Chains A and B, each alone.
Chain A
Amino acid sequence: MRIATGSFFSSQVDILSEQYEKISKYNTQIDTGYKLQRSSEDPVLAYRIKLTGDYINNLEAYTQNGISARNRNEMFQSASTQAINLIDNINQVLVSSANDTQADSTRAALGGQIQEYLKNLFNIANSKDGTGQYIYAGFNSDVPPFTKNNNSYTYNGGFEKTSINIGPNNQVVFSDSGYDVFGKILQGNGSFVVTANSANTGSGWTDAGVVFDTSAYVSDNYTISFAQNAAGETVYSVTGAVSGQVVPPLPATIPNDAPVVTDQISFNGISLKMHGTPNPGDSLTIQPAQYESVFDTVQQMVDLLGTGVNSDPAKQAQFHQVLSKCFASLNQVRDHLIEHQSVVGTRIQTIENQVRENSQISNEQTRIKSQLESADPVEVYTQLQQQQIALEAAQTSYNIVRSLMMDLLKI
């Protein structure tokens, strides 16, 4: 084929500039360390890199929340541990106050101790985090969740918890409702509360009782009345506000058909252990347990220990009746707080797992992203060298052709 001199030179120039372009491309790859300088060089790869980057960014946006959630729940954990310790301390004080040989003044001093523990407990429930937010206030994190007024306690916080995201599809509780933790605990043994009639004259009192048969248990307001039968024995009868006469069962009559008081009173799945001797005319009431705050429960103990019994058997009986309820309530509180503690423990475990998982996935994705986007130096150097050789060859051939042309003109 006939080749015009002009196009011959221009095609040589094209070949050379193409070679230079490739060399400059490899040079940039070495300079920046990236395979692609622009997405248009490989849009499919570039899109994958972008999506991977998004994924990593999204995971990293959880980092701060992971830290916040862990800190917050560690606060919950230490708060609940401290609270349980305080409950144990209170329990010890109560145990030592139970002894009838204790003087009223000693009891009052013990009550003072419990008062201090109560303050601590109250402060724990009103804990704030580093940013000044109350941690047990549910939605209302800017007001103290519990307030005290004349020895009665009110919950002002929110009843709902807030959660935050710590990973894809993983929310953990961030602001607990203090009402759930400290404010809503069933009194007594959790089912019912036994109270002595304040006019009782005997020395009889019961323990807090148990529900020994849940299927037979009927929740009702019962009155246990003591009377004297024809034989001069002290007998008891039980009447429910709804159930009517339970002991002795109808049509038996009171007092002569009623059972004689022993150290055990049982009916409708309820079992009470009797201490001391009730007088005829004395009575006890059994009411379904109500929710009560920890503070109200403990405040009762303070009040109880502050009230003198004056070595009077009837007052001592009253004291023991309330004290038995207090022990039972305290036990409920303890169980409740331990449950909270274990929930928080599980939460911390969940958070740690999620944080670890986030960082593992993030590291793995970062590695993949780096593989996708980084230029392989060895490969690039090799290609660069090959390109240099090709360029040199092209230059040489250009020179040869040019000198031939010059020779021709010399003819």
Chain B
Amino acid sequence: MSNILNIGVQSLSAYQSALEITSQNLGNVGNDDYSRRQVNFIEAANNNGVNIGDVRRVYDSSTNRYLRQTTSDFSKSDVLLDQLVTLESLLDDNTNSIGTYLTSSLTALRNLNANAGDDKGRSLYLQQLGILSNRFQAINAQFQLSLGSVNESMNNLTSTINQLTQKISELNLQLTQADNAGNPSLLDQRESVLRDLSKYLDFTAQEDDRGSVNVIVGNGTLLVFGIQSFPLSTVASNSDPLITDLVINDGSNNIVISNAITGGQMGGLISYRNQSLMPAQRALDRLSLSVMDEMNDQNSLGVNLYGNLGGNIFQDINSTSLVTNRAISYPTNTGSEQITVDITDTKALTTSDYMLTFDTASHYILTRKSDNSTVSTGNIVAIPAAISVDGFSININSGTIAAGDHYTISPTRSAANTMSVIMSDPKQLALAWPVTAVSSSTNSGAGKVEVTSVYDTTNPIFTTPGQLTPPLLIRFTSSSSYEIVNATTNAVIQTAIPYNSSTSTGTVVFPTPAPTSYDPGFTVKLSGEIMAGDTFALNYNSTNTADNRNGLAMEALFNAANVDNSLSFSSAYHALTIDISTITNRAKIDLDSSKALLNSAKQRFGSISGVNVTEEMVGLSRYQQAYQASAQIIQVAKALFETVIGIARG
């Protein structure tokens, strides 16, 4: 009989506990990190009543892992898209973009060519180029700001991450203490911190047999090991001081783990910086190099209104500071070598940085970072030495190389940042060509002569300013043969060069046929019927107000394949912006799909660990009834006692 009472009391307390657990579940319905508790009843061994077998924290570790992973993917996409949208709106502006100013520069130049001597038209064109440079600088400044904010965000994130990893190590400590082992509330807390951490980076969490969770990033670098956490920190990268690297100190060394982080906000920032911002920066720099170099080169092929050969419109792309900045020496280097980088052909430049490694004191390996291919390797026999690839030349000028020295070679570095028009006098624009070709007025033939191109004003013929050294004369000895004569001394440079008047395209005079192959740095075309005794004089062009031949060549630069040997200036700019837009487009899709995956992971987590109010309400009323029933049992037992006691009295 006392057994009945025992059963009643025991089940009463069992159901009371069950009601408590259910209330706890209901209370935590709004807590996303809460894993619901499930009550299991077992038959009590002593009296066959009911007992709480265990209160189980309902969870599935693979579901939790999946939730962490999708959280980290989602956070990454979210941050990435956020950054990209800002970058895109900076570049993708149809009214205030570099493309706009390229067009207005071209328009100004084209109008100028109809009035090449006009100072106003000339300064208008220079002003347009100035505005263009300002735009390059402004966009570059935005890139720099963006890079700065990425570096700063990375720094901020590390402190958040460090707090979280420390918290995990603390919870590990608590959970390894005997009293707390398996404590559902602590486990929930730890799970919650882990999930928090997954917002910031991607990692693997492994539970060891003592109940601790170890947090591992990348290929086995530990952030949390048992009760110990290893703080992250940010340092300026060895390969590029402008870039922040993520490092972890294992007690003695800084291990760089930037490349191991591919998820979470940190992964998003690194991916944005490495895949979008830096390539866009280098593409912008390359474009500015192309614009400056092509326009400077073309201007140097002409003569200005003062009758002198043209100088630079933009600053020299191989200025001392630029060539020095392009080679970034690692802080770990021990050699004394002095390295500079000259741009030799802007058309061939890529948008990649390069890694120059001296594996021995006399042997180098040059790797292109964009595709990780070795573009050059060889021995340095003597210093000075030069390594030429991809439109630039690495000059090892002096000093001694030490084995193990590294350099980042960044040919495009600082170009957009320093882009500026240095020509202040519009008369300095060299719109004319330095050579005139004139038929003699006594010619009896109908031959025509024309300068068709000027390609090298460093040729010795241009050594003395304001004249050709020597001026040349093309003299026909018969209607089918001519000679080139030094017009000053009458010395024959080359004779008996055949001429054929019937070719419709005319005859190109320079370089003259082998073996003399006389080449004055420009080409001249003869056409039409020419008679013996006819002469054509080639002289320096010093009076040239309306001469726009070089101006027309400048115009052609705007549509020529000047960037990457395939793109015009403006299409190169479009390519740059569309690359960002395409990445943004992909990031948006990634965000949508990672959001869908995160939602499904949350659903899965919810379906296993989440609280369902309906279910709990049903449980609540069930346990309430069971509780009442148990109370009734006690009532019955009590009644039985009283009956028995009554009999005994009775």
Question: In the bound complex, how far is the Cα of B609 from the Cα of A140, in angstroms?
Answer: 90
Q: Is the CB of B114 within 8 A of A43?
A: no
A103 at the interface (CB under 8 A from B): no
Please tell me if the beta carbons of B582 and A11 are within 8 angstroms of each other in the complex.
Answer: no
A39, B97: Cα distance in complex, Å: 14
Beta-carbon contacts under 8 Å, B446-462 to A? 450-451
Please name 13 further chain A to chain B contacts, defined as beta carbons within 8 Å, in addition to the given A3-B606, A7-B607, A50-B577, sorted by A numbering: A38-B89, A39-B577, A39-B578, A46-B578, A58-B559, A138-B546, A139-B432, A140-B544, A158-B436, A159-B438, A162-B547, A162-B549, A290-B442
Q: Which residues of B contact A215 (CB under 8 A)?
A: none
- Cβ of B546 and Cβ of A141 under 8 Å apart? yes
By a CB distance below 8 angstroms, the chain A residues around B582 are 40, 43
> A142 to chain B: which residues have CB within 8 Å?
117, 545-546
**Alpha-carbon distance between A133 and B115 when the two chains are bound, in angstroms:** 8
A-B residue pairs in contact (CB < 8 Å), sample of 10: A2-B612, A3-B610, A5-B613, A10-B602, A46-B578, A58-B559, A68-B114, A140-B546, A141-B545, A174-B114
Name the residue of chain A whose CB is nearest to the CB of B595.
A14
A296 to chain B, nearest CB (A): 12
Given A6-B610, A57-B103, A61-B107; A39-B581 close (CB under 8 Å): yes
6 A-B pairs with the lowest CB-CB distances in the bound complex, closest first: A4-B610, A4-B606, A40-B584, A141-B546, A7-B606, A39-B581
- Is residue A313 contacting chain B, with contact meaning CB distance below 8 A? no
* Min C-beta distance of B468 to chain A, whole Å: 16
Residues 96-122 of B at the A interface (beta carbon under 8 Å): 99, 103, 106-107, 110-111, 113-118
B114: chain A residues at CB < 8 Å are 64-65, 68-69, 72, 164, 174
The reply to whether B436 and A162 form a contact with Cβ atoms under 8 Å apart is no
The answer to whether A333 has its CB under 8 Å from any CB of chain B is no
Decide yes or no whether B297 CB sits under 8 A from chain A: no
Task: Specify the chain A residue showing the minimal Cβ separation from B116.
Answer: A162
**Residues in chain A near residue B614, CB distance under 8 A:** 5, 408
Smallest distance from the beta carbon of B296 to chain A beta carbons, Å?
22
B113 and A54 contact, CB distance less than 8 A: no
Neighbour of B574 across the interface among A40, A54, A69, CB < 8 A = A54
Task: Provide the residues of chain A in CB contact with B117, threshold 8 Å.
Answer: 133, 141-142
- Please give, as numbers and ranges, the residues of chain B lying within 8 Å of A408 by CB-CB distance: 613-614, 617
Q: Is B345 an interface residue (CB 8 A)?
A: no
Residues 1-43 of B, flagged 1 when their CB comes within 8 A of A and 0 if not, give 0000000000000000000000000000110100000000000
B570 in contact (CB, < 8 A): yes
- B546 and A61 within 8 A (CB): no
Whole-angstrom distance from the CB of A176 to the nearest CB of chain B?
11
Residue pair A65, B574 in contact (C-beta under 8 Å): no
Contact residues in A for B438 (Cβ distance below 8 Å): 159-160
Q: A54-B103, A163-B552, A411-B617 are in contact. Are A38 and B581 (CB under 8 A)?
A: yes
- Complex CA–CA separation, A53 to B444 (angstroms): 52
Question: In the bound complex, what is the Cα–Cα distance between A4 and B578 (angstroms)?
Answer: 43
Q: A411 CA to B620 CA in the complex, in Å?
A: 12
B546 lies within 8 A of A158 (CB): yes
Contacts of B106 in A (CB 8 A): 58, 61
Q: How far is the CA of A158 from the CA of B549 in the complex (A)?
A: 13
Q: Tell me whether A4 and B611 are in contact (CB under 8 A).
A: yes
Least CB separation from B549: chain A residue: A162
Q: Which residues of chain A are near B612, meaning CB under 8 Å? A: 2-5
B603 an interface residue at 8 Å Cβ cutoff?
yes
Task: Give which listed residue, A4, A10, A139, contacts B607 with CB less than 8 A.
Answer: A4
Chain A's interface size range is: 35 or more
Instruction: Name the CB-closest residue of B to A63.
Output: B107
- A142-184 interface with B by 8 A CB criterion: 142-143, 158-160, 162-165, 171, 174-175, 184
**Least CB distance, B474 to chain A, in whole angstroms:** 15
| Chain A 15-52 residues near chain B, CB threshold 8 A | 38-43, 46-47, 50-51
| Nearest Cβ on chain A to B265's Cβ, whole angstroms | 21
Whether the pair A47, B613 counts as a contact (CB closer than 8 A) is no
CA distance A133 to B588 in the complex (A): 58
A295, CB-defined interface residue at 8 Å = no
Chain B interface bracket (under 10, 10 to 19, 20 to 34, 35 or more): 35 or more
Q: Is the CB of B88 within 8 A of A38?
A: yes
Within the assembled complex, what's the spacing in Å between the Cα atoms of A61 and B103? 8
Interchain Cβ contacts within 8 Å, total number: 187
Residue of B nearest to A72 (CB): B114
Q: Is B238 an interface residue (CB 8 A)?
A: no
Instruction: Indicate if the CB atoms of B610 and A7 lie closer than 8 Å.
Output: yes
Q: Which one of B99, B441, B602 contacts A54 once the chains associate, using CB atoms below 8 Å?
A: B99
CB distance from A289 to the nearest CB of B (A): 9
Which of chain A's residues have a CB closer than 8 A to the CB of B605?
Answer: 7
Q: Is the CB–CB distance between B546 and A139 below 8 Å? A: yes
Q: Chain B residues near A409 (CB, 8 Å)?
A: 613, 617
State A409–B110 Cα separation when bound (angstroms).
Answer: 79
Interface residues of A in 282-326 (CB under 8 A from B): 288, 290-291
Give bound CA distance, A38 to B574, whole Å.
14
Chain A 190-224 interface 0/1 with B at a Cβ cutoff of 8 Å (1 = within): 00000000000000000000000000000100000
A8 to B615, CA, bound (A): 14
Known: A6-B606, A171-B552. A46 touches B581 (CB 8 A): yes
A133 touches B574 (CB 8 A): no
**CB-defined contacts of B94 to chain A, threshold 8 Å:** 50, 53
A165 to B549, CA, bound (A): 11
A405 interface hit (Cβ, 8 Å)? yes
Contacts of A50 in B (CB 8 A): 94, 99, 574, 577-578
**Would B107 and A162 count as touching, CB distance under 8 A?**
no
Nearest B-chain residue to A53, judged by Cβ? B94
* B437 and A160 form a contact (CB under 8 A): yes
Instruction: Determine whether B585 belongs to the interface, using a CB cutoff of 8 Å to chain A.
Output: yes
B477 contacts partner chain A, Cβ-Cβ < 8 Å:
no
Contact indicator A165/B88 (Cβ below 8 Å): no
Question: For residue B29, which residue of chain A has the nearest CB?
Answer: A5
| Chain A, 43-87, CB within 8 A of any chain B CB | 43, 46-47, 50-51, 53-54, 57-58, 60-62, 64-65, 68-69, 72
- A300 CA / B128 CA spacing, docked (Å): 53
B92 contacts partner chain A, Cβ-Cβ < 8 Å: yes
* Contact call B99/A139, Cβ cutoff below 8 A: no
Distance in angstroms between the alpha carbons of A46 and B94 in the assembled complex: 11
- In the complex, the chain A residue whose C-beta lies closest to that of B579 is A43
User: From residue 606 to 637 of chain B, which have CB atoms closer than 8 A to chain A?
Assistant: 606-615, 617, 621
Task: Contact check, A54 vs B610: say whether CB atoms are below 8 A apart.
Answer: no
On whether the beta carbons of B607 and A3 are closer than 8 Å, the reply is yes
B541 within 8 A of A: yes
Complex: chain B residue closest to A139, CB-CB: B547
A161 to chain B, nearest CB (A): 9
- CB <8 Å contact, A5 and B110: no
A294 shortest CB reach to chain B, Å:
14
B603 x A3 contact (CB < 8 A): yes
B96 smallest CB distance to A (angstroms):
14
Binary contact readout A322-362 vs B (1 if CB under 8 angstroms, 0 otherwise)? 00000000000000000000000000000000000000000
Q: Which one of B116, B441, B585, B599 lies within 8 Å of A14 (CB-CB)?
A: B599
Closest Cβ neighbor of B109 among chain A residues: A61
**For window 348-402 of chain A, which residues contact chain B by CB distance below 8 Å?**
none
B357 part of interface (Cβ distance < 8 Å): no
**Cβ-defined contact, B599 with A64, below 8 A:** no
Output the least CB separation between A55 and chain B (Å).
10
Chain A min CB distance to B562 (Å): 15
Q: Kindly state whether residue A235 has any CB partner on chain B within 8 Å.
A: no
B571 at the A interface (CB under 8 A): yes
With contacts A38-B581, A53-B94, A65-B114 known, is A6 near B103, CB below 8 A? no
For the complex, is B527 an interface residue (Cβ under 8 Å from A)?
Answer: no
Name the contact of B92 in the complex, choosing from A10, A38, A65, A219 (C-beta under 8 A).
A38
The answer to whether A131 has its CB under 8 Å from any CB of chain B is yes
Is the C-beta of B555 less than 8 angstroms from some C-beta in chain A? Answer: yes
Please tell me if B83 contacts chain A, counting CB pairs below 8 Å: no
A230 located at the interface, meaning its Cβ lies under 8 Å from any Cβ of chain B in the complex: no
Q: Is A137 an interface residue (CB 8 A)?
A: yes
- Of B113, B439, B588, B611, the most chain A CB neighbours within 10 A belong to B113
A56 to chain B: closest residue by CB: B103
